Amino acid sequence: MTARDVSVSYENGAKSAIRNINLDIGEKQVLAMIGPSGCGKSTFLRCLNRMNDTVPGCEVKGEILLDGHNIYAKDQEIVELRSQVGMVFQRPNPFPKSIYDNVAYGPRIHGLVDTKDELDEVIEQSLRRAGLWEEVKTRLDQPATGLSGGQQQRLCIARTIAIAPEVILMDEPCSALDPIATGIIEDLINELKENFSIVIVTHSMSQASRVSDRTAYFHLGDLVEVNETKKVFEDPEHKLTRDYIGGRFG
Ligand code: ADP
Residue range 222-233: average pLDDT?
Answer: 98
Ligand 1 atom closest to 42 (CA): 2
Q: Is the CB of 72 under 6 A from ligand 1?
A: no
Tell me the angle at which helices 149-161 and 99-109 cross, rounded to the nearest 10 degrees: 20
Q: Is the CB of 8 under 6 A from ligand 1?
A: no
pTM over 0.85: yes
Residue range 56-61: average pLDDT?
Answer: 97
Ligand 1 atom closest to 11 (CA): 25
Q: Give the sign of the dihedral formed by CA 152, CA 156, CA 162, CA 164.
A: negative
Show me where the domains of the chain are located: 2-245
Q: Which amino acid is at 202?
A: T
Q: With cut-offs at 50, 70 and 90, classify the pLDDT of residue 247.
A: confident
Q: Which amino acid is at 150?
A: G
d(CA 34, CA 245): 9
- Centre of ligand 1 to C-alpha 93, Å, is 21
Reply yes or no on whether the pLDDT at 249 is more than 70: no
Q: Is the CB of 115 under 6 A from ligand 1?
A: no
- Centre of ligand 1 to C-alpha 249, Å, is 19
Residue range 56-72: average pLDDT?
Answer: 97
Q: Is the CB of 42 under 6 A from ligand 1?
A: yes
- Centre of ligand 1 to C-alpha 171, Å, is 13
Residue range 182-204: average pLDDT?
Answer: 95
What is the per-residue pLDDT across 13-50, written as a single tens digit (0 to 9) for each? 999 999 999 999 999 999 999 999 999 999 999 999 99
What is the per-residue pLDDT across 68-107, written as a single tens digit (0 to 9) for each? 999 999 999 999 999 999 999 999 999 999 999 999 999 9
- Centre of ligand 1 to C-alpha 17, Å, is 6
- Centre of ligand 1 to C-alpha 110, Å, is 31
Topology given in CATH for the domain delimited by 2-245: Rossmann fold (3.40.50)
Reply yes or no on whether the pLDDT at 250 is more than 90: no
What is the per-residue pLDDT across 113-166, written as a single tens digit (0 to 9) for each? 999 999 999 999 999 999 999 999 999 999 999 999 999 999 999 999 999 999
Q: What does each C-alpha distance from 178 to 34, 61, 181, 190 come to in angstroms?
A: 20, 38, 5, 19
d(CA 181, CA 62): 37
Query: Given this model, what pLDDT does residue 248 score?
Result: 67
